[in-house]
Amino acid sequence: MRLPIRPATESMKEQISVESPLARLEQELRQVVRTSSDAVRMALVAVLAEGHP
């Protein structure tokens, strides 16, 4: 496999850093929806991929 040819853009880095709203949203959702599954992460995948879970 080729190594990634394009690193995260500055905008991406800002969005995905630990303190980013996206990371905080995932943490908050995990606090509300306590489950052993990865349901919260999957819901956010659906949000970002513009799909219906």
Total interface residues for another protein by CB under 8 A: 43
Dist. CA 20–CA 15, nearest whole Å: 5
Question: According to CB under 8 A, which residues from 1 to 53 bind another protein?
Answer: 1-2, 4-9, 11-13, 15-17, 21-22, 24-26, 28-29, 31-37, 39-53
Dist. CA 34–CA 48, nearest whole Å: 21
What is Dmax (Cα atoms) for the chain? Answer: 39
**Residues lying near another protein in the complex (CB under 8 A):** 1-2, 4-9, 11-13, 15-17, 21-22, 24-26, 28-29, 31-37, 39-53
